[in-house]
Chains A and B, each alone.
Chain A
Amino acid sequence: MATEALTAPATTPAGPSRRRRRGIRGNENIAGWLFVAPVIVILGLFLLLPILMALWVSLTDWNGQGSPFTADVPFVGGKNYTRLFTEDGLDRRDFMTSIRNNMYYVGIVVPAQTVLALGLALIVNNRMLKGKGFFRSAFYFPSVTSSVAISVVFLFLFANSGAVNKLLGFLGLDGPEWFADSRGVLHLLLGVVGVDSPPAALTSGGPLGLTWWDWLSGPSVAMMSIICLVIWTTSGTFMLLYLAALQNVPVALDEASTLDGATRWQRFRYVTLPLIKPTTFLVVTLGLIGCWQVFDQVYVMSQGDPAKTTLTPAYLSYRTAFRDFDYGSGAAISFVLFLIIILFTLLQRRVMADRDGSRRGRWWRRRVPEGS
């Protein structure tokens, strides 16, 4: 690894100071552990230990009274988990509803923010335009603000007689009551083509406690407002990643293809896009990881309503534990969510590692001295 490559030559003692050096190294064993001790204590106590505690709680029926680590707390084994997957009931229906909601959320947010981020980066990277610095900052600014504060603003924008509905009014459209509207977007689209009532084949059954018709609802109108908010806040961050990638595209390559007679679209499609593919992969996987963690916006804007159509696994686990006092179930939902997110993280790390195994050294050297 780069670390070793860097320190090794420098610490190979040269001549006279060898003995002294060894003394210092002896010191370093203790010093090293002292230096990392605060971080180990804090992360161990408030990250690793709690995860183990929650793992235990997810195997019990603890209701929040007293300590979960006494003999009085009923141990239920894997029951909290099986109730989410195999036993028909409210728990499974809520959980599967939250999974469905989050899948539609991911399905829209990830492609939309990726495309928007790339688009913004392309405009802002255009050499012919002036004032790009200002716009770059403007696009990025929402990303750094408080998710709670921004959610408050969007509550106002999407209010019944709010700014968004006013704008739709100018276009001659009747805006919905965003936060009260639990109708699924796919259902609405089907309604447009004349399918008003669900075909019986789809309502009679379906996998995992929801009917096919429910699975195929699409995100609700209420969820769409949260989706808009999230695309709006995160595109700026990803734009920066694309911008860094675009600035690494050699100008000569672009020019060579221009001389070869490639059109602007061809240059983008066959030169730029392949070159920034790693960044696209990064943006997509970071998006996938982030999207399964949506919580703040749901808490502030909708609390899972209307009709549970903005319920997400993260919010459901919180609600199950802290509002229904079913901590075991809540913790179980957390762990399932953990698993989902970790899968995406591992996928990302695997591919990134394959990709820059040979470039690691260059990677940090390129970045760190900047601005120093």
Chain B
Amino acid sequence: MAVLTDRPAAPVAPRADRGPRARVNRILGYAVLIFFGLVFLYPFVIQLGNSFKTEPDAAANPLSPVPDPVTLAGFERIFAGTNFPLWLGNSLLVTVLVTLGRVFFDSLAGYALARLRFRGRAGLFAAVIAVMAVPGVVLLIPKFLVLKQLGLYDSYAGLVVPLLADAAGVFIMKQFFESIPVSVEEAARIDGAGVFRTFWSVVLPMARPALITLTILSFQGSWNEFPHSLVSVQDPHLFTLPRGLADLVSGSLGKGTQYPLKLGAALLATIPVAVLFVIFQRYFVRGANEGADKG
């Protein structure tokens, strides 16, 4: 399952990897690998197991992944006793809109910055690079201020519109468009296609790998987005999943244990991104590397 490698593995070099010493090394290697595998995966196993436990069971045997007895009580209370379905709906809505918006707007801007020659392009690109350096966490109060001022506070628009474009996405798309041979679009232009037409039906279809990467990054980013929802809404009916989850833990229920319920809710919130991860791993990896290179 070498899905995560972007490059083909280096050819196996002829070397002395036989003999007793090599065997000891290999066993040691696997031991380390398995140890860290447990460190990184066992918390999820515990989460899964404990979400199907009764409260006393979860409190008494937190390490055991096996519920005894198995109960759906936690999940029943998630759906009956909390606003979970509502949060889920809000999260889906926000994620879909934000992803669509980012993919479309970031591609448009990325294409313009890569290919169209217009006055101010270099300055704009410098601005995009500068904007990428603005840490999101210092924008909490600023975003709240502007949403209040524009009358968007506590509304779906406030939850969605500010996230509809992001500088990093523009950067990724620009880099990609630059790698597509110019001749293709030149041909289309000479055939009389307009700028948008060329972009939409000639260049964009060629940008599939970048579009998938951007879609996944946007989906993951907006699905997990927490601080923005914290400063853009306060009406519990507008909570997204992370916000609702945070409220569940730190709010009224927070001080009680109720761990099966909380772990179950967190589990459900993790599943969509987990599924996406399993299917599209290599795009996640590319996103991570792009994200680092942008700095």
Which residues of chain A (226-260) have a CB below 8 Å from chain B? 232, 236-237, 240-241, 244, 247, 251, 255, 258
A215 located at the interface, meaning its Cβ lies under 8 Å from any Cβ of chain B in the complex: no
B39 located at the interface, meaning its Cβ lies under 8 Å from any Cβ of chain A in the complex: yes
Which residues of chain A (282-300) have a CB below 8 Å from chain B? 282, 285-286, 289, 292-293, 295-296, 299-300
Establish whether residues A364 and B178, one from each chain, have CB atoms under 8 Å apart when the complex forms.
yes
B75 CB to closest chain A CB (Å) equals: 15
Contact with A along B35-52 (1 / 0, CB 8 A): 011011101101100100
Selected contact of B33 from candidates A3, A123, A293, A338, CB within 8 Å = A123
Selected contact of B5 from candidates A10, A46, A133, CB within 8 Å = A133
Establish whether residues B295 and A36, one from each chain, have CB atoms under 8 Å apart when the complex forms.
no
Which residues of chain A (338-372) have a CB below 8 Å from chain B? 338, 341-342, 345, 348-349, 352, 363-365, 367-372
Chain A residue, CB-CB nearest to B1? A133
A197 located at the interface, meaning its Cβ lies under 8 Å from any Cβ of chain B in the complex: no
Chain A residue, CB-CB nearest to B178? A6
Chain A residue, CB-CB nearest to B121? A32
Establish whether residues A50 and B250, one from each chain, have CB atoms under 8 Å apart when the complex forms.
no
Establish whether residues A36 and B113, one from each chain, have CB atoms under 8 Å apart when the complex forms.
yes
A67 located at the interface, meaning its Cβ lies under 8 Å from any Cβ of chain B in the complex: yes
B77 located at the interface, meaning its Cβ lies under 8 Å from any Cβ of chain A in the complex: no
Interface stretch (choices B22-30, B66-74, B78-86) = B22-30
Chain B residue, CB-CB nearest to A28? B116
B136 located at the interface, meaning its Cβ lies under 8 Å from any Cβ of chain A in the complex: yes
A127 to B150, CA, bound (A): 57
A50 to B146, CA, bound (A): 5
B204 located at the interface, meaning its Cβ lies under 8 Å from any Cβ of chain A in the complex: no
Given A25-B117, A39-B170, A146-B224: A155 in contact with B40 (beta carbons within 8 A): no
A152 to B6, CA, bound (A): 33
Establish whether residues A146 and B26, one from each chain, have CB atoms under 8 Å apart when the complex forms.
no
Contact with B along A120-144 (1 / 0, CB 8 A): 1001101111011111111111111
Q: Is the interface of B mostly helix, strand, loop or mixed?
A: helix
Establish whether residues A365 and B179, one from each chain, have CB atoms under 8 Å apart when the complex forms.
yes
Interface stretch (choices A88-96, A106-114, A160-168, A182-190) = A160-168
A276 CB to closest chain B CB (Å) equals: 14
Establish whether residues A153 and B43, one from each chain, have CB atoms under 8 Å apart when the complex forms.
yes
A6 to B7, CA, bound (A): 25
Establish whether residues B269 and A149, one from each chain, have CB atoms under 8 Å apart when the complex forms.
yes
A142 CB to closest chain B CB (Å) equals: 6
Given A299-B250, A370-B286, A371-B209: A251 in contact with B25 (beta carbons within 8 A): no
B285 located at the interface, meaning its Cβ lies under 8 Å from any Cβ of chain A in the complex: yes
A45 located at the interface, meaning its Cβ lies under 8 Å from any Cβ of chain B in the complex: yes
Establish whether residues A241 and B149, one from each chain, have CB atoms under 8 Å apart when the complex forms.
no
Selected contact of A17 from candidates B142, B190, B226, CB within 8 Å = B190
A349 to B143, CA, bound (A): 26
Selected contact of B7 from candidates A20, A247, A299, CB within 8 Å = A247
Establish whether residues B231 and A322, one from each chain, have CB atoms under 8 Å apart when the complex forms.
yes
Given A38-B165, A137-B4, A241-B292: A146 in contact with B108 (beta carbons within 8 A): no
B263 located at the interface, meaning its Cβ lies under 8 Å from any Cβ of chain A in the complex: yes
Inter-chain residue pair count (beta carbon < 8 A)? 355
Across-interface contacts of B259 in A (CB, < 8 A)? 156, 159
A372 to B209, CA, bound (A): 6
A367 to B291, CA, bound (A): 13
Interface stretch (choices A206-214, A266-274, A329-337) = A329-337
Selected contact of A10 from candidates B9, B30, B36, B183, CB within 8 Å = B183
Establish whether residues B249 and A68, one from each chain, have CB atoms under 8 Å apart when the complex forms.
no
Establish whether residues B62 and A156, one from each chain, have CB atoms under 8 Å apart when the complex forms.
yes
Establish whether residues A251 and B11, one from each chain, have CB atoms under 8 Å apart when the complex forms.
yes
Given A11-B182, A38-B105, A144-B277: A49 in contact with B46 (beta carbons within 8 A): no
Establish whether residues A330 and B262, one from each chain, have CB atoms under 8 Å apart when the complex forms.
no
Across-interface contacts of B250 in A (CB, < 8 A)? 299-300, 303
Establish whether residues A32 and B116, one from each chain, have CB atoms under 8 Å apart when the complex forms.
yes
Across-interface contacts of A132 in B (CB, < 8 A)? 2, 33
A3 to B26, CA, bound (A): 47
A330 to B140, CA, bound (A): 10
Establish whether residues B281 and A137, one from each chain, have CB atoms under 8 Å apart when the complex forms.
yes
Establish whether residues B134 and A47, one from each chain, have CB atoms under 8 Å apart when the complex forms.
yes
Establish whether residues A51 and B136, one from each chain, have CB atoms under 8 Å apart when the complex forms.
no
Establish whether residues B146 and A53, one from each chain, have CB atoms under 8 Å apart when the complex forms.
yes
Across-interface contacts of B143 in A (CB, < 8 A)? 46, 50
A144 to B108, CA, bound (A): 27
Selected contact of B114 from candidates A3, A299, A318, CB within 8 Å = A3
Establish whether residues A338 and B138, one from each chain, have CB atoms under 8 Å apart when the complex forms.
yes
Establish whether residues B195 and A53, one from each chain, have CB atoms under 8 Å apart when the complex forms.
no
A35 located at the interface, meaning its Cβ lies under 8 Å from any Cβ of chain B in the complex: yes
List 14 A-B pairs, Cβ < 8 Å: A31-B118, A42-B105, A57-B145, A140-B284, A141-B40, A146-B245, A149-B269, A156-B47, A166-B63, A240-B289, A244-B6, A299-B246, A322-B231, A349-B295
A residues bordering B, Cβ < 8 Å?
2-3, 6-7, 10-11, 17, 20, 24-25, 27-33, 35-36, 38-40, 42-43, 45-51, 53-54, 57, 67-69, 120, 123-124, 126-129, 131-157, 159, 161-163, 166-167, 232, 236-237, 240-241, 244, 247, 251, 255, 258, 282, 285-286, 289, 292-293, 295-296, 299-300, 303, 314, 317-318, 321-322, 327, 330-331, 334-335, 337-338, 341-342, 345, 348-349, 352, 363-365, 367-372
The 5 A-B pairs with the shortest beta carbon distances in the complex, nearest first, are A32-B118, A50-B142, A35-B112, A46-B162, A368-B179
